[in-house]
Chains A and B, each alone.
Chain A
Amino acid sequence: MFAFLRFAFRRAFRNMKGNLFLNLTTVAIIGISLLVFSSFTLLAYNLTSLLKIWEGKFEVIAYLKGDLSLDQVEGLLKKIRQLDGVETVNYLSPFDAMAYMEEKLGGQKDLLQGIRPSIFPASIEIRLKKDYWGHTKIEEVVADMKNIPQIEEVQYGQEWIDTFSVLVHLVRLTQWILGGLLLAAIIFIISHTLQLTISSRREEIEAMQMAGASPAFIQVPHYIEGLVQGVLGAAMATGLLFLLYQIILVAITPLLKGWLSGIPILFLPWETIIKILLGGMILGLFGSFLASLRFLRYSR
């Protein structure tokens, strides 16, 4: 078995060397196709992680009617804590609100000079349990809060998150539709390149068949060839994607500094890179299998 595999690999690499240009072209086409697919994967990955960050920061803010006593606030907090779906509550007095604004304004906090904290409404930041992050459930909690007479207004950013979530789904959908099309294209390319290389070695294959070489003996080197083309194409795609990612980090991130504060631009995790490499291998194998169906069978 080991001797056979050694022979098959030797033959596969000799074949590839013999048709170097054709093989390099195939690897390049696979690489570019997988680059398009993995770019969408990277985009979807970053948008999903951004969505998670925003969802993690998601809060419902209840603005309170003016001049509530501390006892009333205590009672209110207790009441809100008892509502279904509420995880934590955090009271922000008008002083806290003013301090928050000063922090946000940084060097321009002088703008707040002369303004009394009482103009800021007291509020309660409410974090909901993860199960309640869905749109309908949040609506239920918010409706319960709105029934509390001491609450003036309830605000939450769910609509924005919903819209963003739809965008992420659209990117994912595009990724898979495009992925499907590219997948078919890659199989077609590998299969046809191998058909070309097989027909250029037709004499040798016929001589092998005449000598009684087993089908595995004839086919396995071609499967290895497809597999190597697939994995090299995938590696090229990942390498180019990393290069693009670095360019984006160096050239574009500084321009979006204000927008992207605290939001990291991530590269694909190792598991996804391994999946892309494995995917390339499987595509290559399948393409070569299709080519072998047409040309490497013992025909009578």
Chain B
Amino acid sequence: MLVWTLMIQMFSVSKTYPSHITALSGFYLEIDQGEFVFITGPSGSGKSSLLRILFGAEKPSSGEVIVNGIRLTQPGFKKVYQLRRMIGIISPDFRLLKDRNVKENVAFVLEVMGVSAREIEEKVSEILRLLDLQERARDSILALSAGEQQRVSIARALVKNPSLILADEPTSVLDEEMTEKVMEIFSDFHQKGTTILMATQDTRLIQRHPYRTIPLMPGKEGGQESKDEVRPEGCSLF
């Protein structure tokens, strides 16, 4: 029986926007199941584009993308929603529903997946407790600070216990203490086998957590040089 060990494969992926801005050019990437990888680079280096391609929000201009065995670049690929069910997405702009409270925002993800009300209650309470949000469960999103909103968006991504977490600057507005707490939670998920791809510009964070790091440079061909070269345990390319 063939066991698929790669969570993400990208072959020669390029992404050029209609405004002729090239976000990715000839990009290669392989990420194993259960791996924790940082994507780093300055603004405009294509980190967000890379993540958006991986959860099917954008199509690459060329190249091949395979996530958990699903070929996203297959012509006529329509099952984006099936792919997203296994992915926890953390957006830099949070994308929270402003007319709902904290608990409803987190529960919403499970509702759309058809999870039972009892299970939703249990899972939401647990993830809110992990992120120190249980006291704010009934509060409106608009009443939260930016840091709290970011934690809600993290809770929303994690509550469905995803196989893959795509986190775009998930700690950008968190204080150091909360950033470490979130990293601990990510580490716990990682220990349980969740693959995590995290885009960040926080070099100190990367230094504190020596996972594989893939640097991106604006408009340059990139990705990992070779699998062996970039994957010494505990060593960063950055």
Contacts and interface: CB of A to CB of B under 8 A. Distances in A.
Interface of A: 3-4, 7, 203-204, 206-215, 217, 298, 300
B130 interface: no
Contacts of A204: 97
A212 B113 contact: yes
Contact of A4 (B55, B82, B83, B114): B114
B109 interface: yes
Interface stretch (B19-27, B29-37, B56-64, B131-139): B56-64
Contacts of A211: 84-85, 108-109, 112-113, 156, 160
Contacts of B78: 298
Interface string B80-112: 111111110101000111100000000011011
A3 B58 CA distance: 32
Nearest to B116: A3
Given A3-B114, A212-B112, A212-B113, A207 B95 contact: yes
A261 B57 CA distance: 72
Contacts of A209: 80-81, 84
Given A203-B98, A213-B81, A215-B81, A208 B58 contact: no
Nearest to A203: B97
Given A203-B95, A300-B56, A212 B82 contact: yes
Contacts of A214: 81
25 contacts: A3-B114, A4-B114, A203-B95, A203-B97, A204-B97, A206-B95, A207-B97, A208-B112, A209-B84, A210-B89, A210-B91, A210-B95, A211-B85, A211-B108, A211-B113, A212-B85, A212-B86, A212-B87, A212-B112, A213-B113, A214-B81, A215-B81, A217-B114, A298-B80, A298-B81
Contacts, number: 55
Contacts of B82: 212
A208 B110 CA distance: 10
Closest 7 CB pairs of A and B: A212-B84, A212-B85, A213-B112, A211-B109, A298-B80, A212-B81, A300-B59
Contacts of B91: 210
Nearest to B160: A211
Contacts of A208: 108, 112
Contacts of A300: 56-59, 80
Interface in B185-201: none
A300 B54 CA distance: 11
Contacts of B84: 209-212
A191 B229 CA distance: 56
A217 B112 contact: yes
Nearest to A297: B78
Nearest to A299: B57
Interface in B204-218: none
Given A211-B108, A213-B113, A300-B56, 15 more contacts: A4-B114, A7-B111, A207-B97, A209-B84, A210-B55, A210-B91, A211-B156, A211-B160, A212-B81, A212-B82, A217-B112, A298-B56, A298-B78, A300-B58, A300-B80
B83 A212 contact: yes
Contacts of B111: 7
A292 to B, nearest CB: 15
